[in-house]
Structure 1
Amino acid sequence: MDEQAKRTPSDSVAEVVSAADVDWDIDTDVLVAGGGGTGLVAALAASENTDIRVTVLEKAPHCGGNTSLSTGMIPAAGTHLQRDAGIEETPADMARDILEKNGYQADEDRVRYLCEESANLIHWLVDDWDITLHLVDDFKYPKHSEYRMHAPDGRNGENLVAELVERIETTPNIELLTNAPVTKLVAEDGAVRGVVAGLTRDEAIEAKKVILGTDGFAGNREMVTEYCEEDIERALYFGSDGNTGDGVRFGAELGGELACMDAYQGHATVASQTGMLSTYAVTMNGGILVNEDGERFGDESSGYSEFAIDVLKQPGGQAVQLFDERIFQKLQGEFDDFDEAVEHGTYHSADSVEALADRLGSDGERAAETVAAYNEAAAAGEPDEVGRVDGSHPLEAPFYGTKVTGSLFHTQGGLVVDEHARVLRTDGSVVANLYAGGGTACGISGHGAGGYLSGNGLTTALGYGRLAGIHARESLE
């Protein structure tokens, strides 16, 4: 496992073996590599033909991957949950927000298709599989023009994963195995025929279709160094341990095209003291960030992914997140992440900004002046000193805060896929019988950190997972 975590596509280590050199131990119809959002959704979609056998192999002791570490919020346009809330929007509106955020650097056809399928994804999860989702209509993440986030209970990805796993375990034609890493693909004449898997001993599994849901490569420092910008190399890694680029390398060895390999999602507010996520809802409800000099250093509403780099560029790679009682009370009971951070003593409070900032290692006098300037702009409804325009509530005592650092959550580049999530070669041909989704596939965030729009990760994880499962199922009927 340690060796896989250090390999890159440019290494000479073989990730694919010939079917002629393999003696099959067992067989299945659809083999899903990875038990995160992509794999779990793909398995459910494939299983809807009850004559098809589906096998899910997860290399960790538990399912979930990055989906379990996320808020579990799935963006979608045109759902009945939106209509019930009086919201009318089209997939084109969602696609526009995604493309404007990444400067139209992502594949526009893939973006628009995933947006068109987003309502079908939500309706399928809620209506067909009884997955608990509700519309988030009390705040918007940066650059979302409408309320379109569909969240599980607690706005916690662990709850979403738990329900998906429960559905998997009660579906007779799905077998789910943990501690079962896929270590190689097996191919014949360029077409995938199965996998080699196993933690302590290799087992060759013949499969008619293989779906790669092994996520990206943010946990592989060698690949991050090779593809991503220098500043993010030293960031705290906050993703799943299993994200070592396995699926990306498997597909690449079969000629799969790689794209946007420099893209990633960072996060600007991981608490330095407790190592816990301080949800960006704190910031989007009116919180701000200051450096050790008590000064703001950018527009926090630009996006938590790119703002991670701004935090890392501050002295010591640290900043202080400041907010107030109104925000504290609003988020309690709404976000499991926030409640857990509170429980673990992540936040400090004081009756003055100066006292709080001094306690957190920032210049208290200057921080008080910074908050006063922010409040003045918010009260006047005018842009503040960094150009932020969404502030509508001045910050008032008592104040809360924590020291934060920038982190790397997951990568957004990977294998190029078509509308069915089939892996494509550089000449546009399909790698037969091979699918990819989530972090294993090229995402919809363009390049770097700035193109990430909140929810892009689950859009490609669950969106491509469902599309892969449907196509694999239908091609075997």
Structure 2
Amino acid sequence: MNAPLPQVRLAADLQAEDHTPVVIVGAGACGLTAALALYRLGVDCVVLERDAFAAGSTALSSGFIPAPCTQAQQAQGITDSVDLFASDIQAKAHGQAAPHLLQAYAQHIGPAMDALANHHGLPWQVLDNFLYPGHSAHRMHAVPEKTGAGLMSRLQAAADAAGVVVLTQAQVTELWADDAQRIHGVGFVRPDGQTERIRCDAVILACNGFGGATAMVKEMLPEMAEATYAGHVGNDGSAIAWGQQLGARLADLGAYQGHGSWAVPQGALISWALMMEGGVQINAQGQRFHDETQGYSEAAVHVLAQPGGVAWNVFDDALLAFAQDFPDFVAAQGAGAVQHAGDAVALAQLIGCPSDVLQASLNAVQPGTDQSTGRHFKRALQAPFHAIKVTGALFHTQGGLDIDAQARVLRQDGTPLPNVLAAGGAARGVSGQEVWGYLSGNGLLSAIAGGHIAAHTAQQLLKDTP
């Protein structure tokens, strides 16, 4: 759908008969979480989604959400705390994560997850057979499908059951504001090219970031300018464009989620759990080049710096069996991403590297700490080997509109706009200012917790507004 550039228009000129208390822009995990929370609060809303069905960045993700102190954790006997979770996030961000958002998200993600389970039937299970990098406890939650698409399907079903109005093929292009930057309505383009408008009392921007805006990526994330973009095309920077026109402040624009395990040419995400459990990345010269357990986001930059911008994920039979518990991996394997080699010589031929160099790299994978990268290994890899050719990819941005702990969008002077809220990728996240600040699951953390918070703030705004 080709639509005009995002615009803020003068509210006095708005002509619209339809009205809803809250408009939510975007029907990904953030938007639907907000809509379901508003439903529980007794507040009507309309969710406007540009695509033909609700998917967004969430459907392209693993669908894993970190949360402490949930009923699912307790049912599995897992001990965790809000403070420990917050400490893990801040440690990964090297102290750069916004403290007010860090605390807000760490505190609200558990109640948000429990509400989705108790009121809408989402059956969370905690992945307790491995730890993602940077997490001190098993707190990664998933629906039984263990995919982002499965998560979105269940959120959409919950919205349908609740009677939430989700208008698809409705790309928002206009916010109608008065001189005080209060939004009075929105305009959205339909498939026939016509623009429809609806009045509202508050807006929640849940339309994600700017990863799909090539010019913005080149300007703000130059190291990823030529990287594969594996995110959703709807991440076009609309929220930032509206915010700038409203005089809003931006923050953490250098932060993003990369991934160092995007299978080529299949174009599939390979779970980083393979690396965490003992797999290694080998470049075209047969060498390891980083500590794979530091995180998959910064691994994107490390992989792109290798010859040809590619690497090979190398693992053995035990890890292959482990990975086959992940549906996304099984799908990638079915697409031909996994190749096999009986020994190191055959693996070198597959990669196209010197066999002696590769053999030395594999020989160094032994129980204990590797001296070249500082990585700690539990065991050696055993032939036969399996390998997947991968590159580094950009998934989504972690910077955006500056918001307070209530998800209110802030002006340049730090005061909140009257009725504009932002959450998920539309707002700054809790990953600090660099790629290495992204803790596994930060994207869906800010989507679910942020959507939950924004809904409660919207309800309060409606109460406070005559």
Q: Mark yes or no: TM-score above 0.5.
A: yes
The alignment status of 1:321 with 2:322, answered yes or no, reads no
Alpha-carbon distance change, 241 to 303 in structure 1, aligned in 2, over 3 angstroms: same
- SS at structure 2 position matched to 1:47: helix
- Select 2:40's aligned residue among 38, 45, 48: 48
CA distances 1:402-452 after superposition (whole Å, capped 9, x unpaired): 111000000000011122211111212111111111110001001121100
- Cα drift, residue 326 of structure 1: 0.4
User: Match for residue 366 of structure 1?
Assistant: 357
User: Match for residue 454 of structure 1?
Assistant: 440
- Flag structure 2 segments of 5+ consecutive residues without an equivalent: none
User: Match for residue 151 of structure 1?
Assistant: 142
The alignment status of 1:19 with 2:7, answered yes or no, reads no
> 1:358 is matched by which residue type in structure 2?
Q
- Select 1:184's aligned residue among 174, 193, 207: 174
- Select 2:209's aligned residue among 210, 216, 229: 216
CA distances 1:32-81 after superposition (whole Å, capped 9, x unpaired): 1001111110111111244x321111101121211111111111112232
- Cα drift, residue 19 of structure 1: 1.0
- Cα drift, residue 288 of structure 1: 0.3
CA distances 1:167-201 after superposition (whole Å, capped 9, x unpaired): 111223x2111110000111112111111111311
- SS at structure 1 position matched to 2:311: strand
- Cα drift, residue 466 of structure 1: 0.8
Contact 2:340 2:385 in 1 (8 A): yes
Contact 2:174 2:186 in 1 (8 A): yes
- Cα drift, residue 249 of structure 1: 1.3
Contact 2:251 2:428 in 1 (8 A): yes
- Select 2:289's aligned residue among 297, 300, 305: 297
- Cα drift, residue 3 of structure 1: 7.0
User: Match for residue 387 of structure 1?
Assistant: 374
User: Match for residue 250 of structure 2?
Assistant: 258
Contact 2:204 2:422 in 1 (8 A): yes
User: Match for residue 425 of structure 1?
Assistant: 411
For 1:60-209, list aligned pairs within 5 A. 60-172=51-163, 174-189=164-179, 190-199=181-190, 200-209=193-202
- Cα drift, residue 362 of structure 1: 3.2
> 1:206 is matched by which residue type in structure 2?
R
TM-score by length of 1: 0.93
Contact 2:109 2:448 in 1 (8 A): no
Contact 1:25 1:203 in 2 (8 A): no
- SS at structure 1 position matched to 2:437: coil
TM-score by length of 2: 0.96
The alignment status of 1:30 with 2:30, answered yes or no, reads no
- Cα drift, residue 342 of structure 1: 0.9
User: Match for residue 391 of structure 2?
Assistant: 405
Contact 2:188 2:195 in 1 (8 A): yes
The alignment status of 1:227 with 2:220, answered yes or no, reads yes
> 1:383 is matched by which residue type in structure 2?
D
Aligned-CA RMSD value: 1.5
- Cα drift, residue 25 of structure 1: 4.2
Contact 1:216 1:414 in 2 (8 A): yes
Counterpart Cα distance in 2 of 1:77 and 1:263:
24
Contact 2:250 2:402 in 1 (8 A): yes
> 2:328 is matched by which residue type in structure 1?
D
- Cα drift, residue 2 of structure 1: 5.6
> 1:454 is matched by which residue type in structure 2?
S
The alignment status of 1:434 with 2:420, answered yes or no, reads yes
Alpha-carbon distance change, 470 to 348 in structure 1, aligned in 2, over 3 angstroms: same
- SS at structure 1 position matched to 2:165: strand
- Flag structure 1 segments of 5+ consecutive residues without an equivalent: 8-13
- SS at structure 1 position matched to 2:435: coil
